[in-house]
Amino acid sequence: MKTLGVRTSRRDEFVDLTAQVARVVAESGVAEGACVVYVPHTTAGVTVNEHADPDVAADMLRALDRIVPWEDGYAHGEGNSAAHIKTTMVGSSSTVPVSGGKLALGTWQGIFLCEFDGPRTRQVHVQVLEA
């Protein structure tokens, strides 16, 4: 397993991790298998989505803010309940097939760290599993 350190710069943002994860896969030497990307945080998640157009990530953040507004009378005393809810909705991990020693992502797909309570330094665990 390899752990990446990722520094976020805003409260809500998507950080494209595709190149970093692809490097971990290449360095692993695994030709066929799966790559698990996991974030051990309760206010940040991981998703696979379009990375060709940055407007997609911006639209997703806007939509999540409409569904789960930052301030909505939550009981959690720390004041970041919206971040916890968004993380549960997005999930804390994604698994991508590895084929021919590379991530088997679609043409437009990328792997993103989803920050919902930044800015912070996040850990991202990447585990490459051989088939």
User: Domain holding 8: CATH number?
Assistant: 2.60.120.460
The predicted model gives 96-107 an average pLDDT of: 98
Tens digit of each residue's pLDDT (9 = 90 or more) over 5-59 = 999 999 999 999 999 999 999 999 999 999 999 999 999 999 999 999 999 999 9
* First-last CA distance in the chain: 16
Q: Is the pLDDT of residue 102 over 90?
A: yes
Total structural domains within the chain: 1
Domain housing 110 = 2-130
Residues written for the chain: 131
Structure tokens given for 21: 């994860």
Alpha helix ranges (H) inside the chain: 18-28, 54-67, 81-90
Contact 111, 25 (CB under 8 A): no
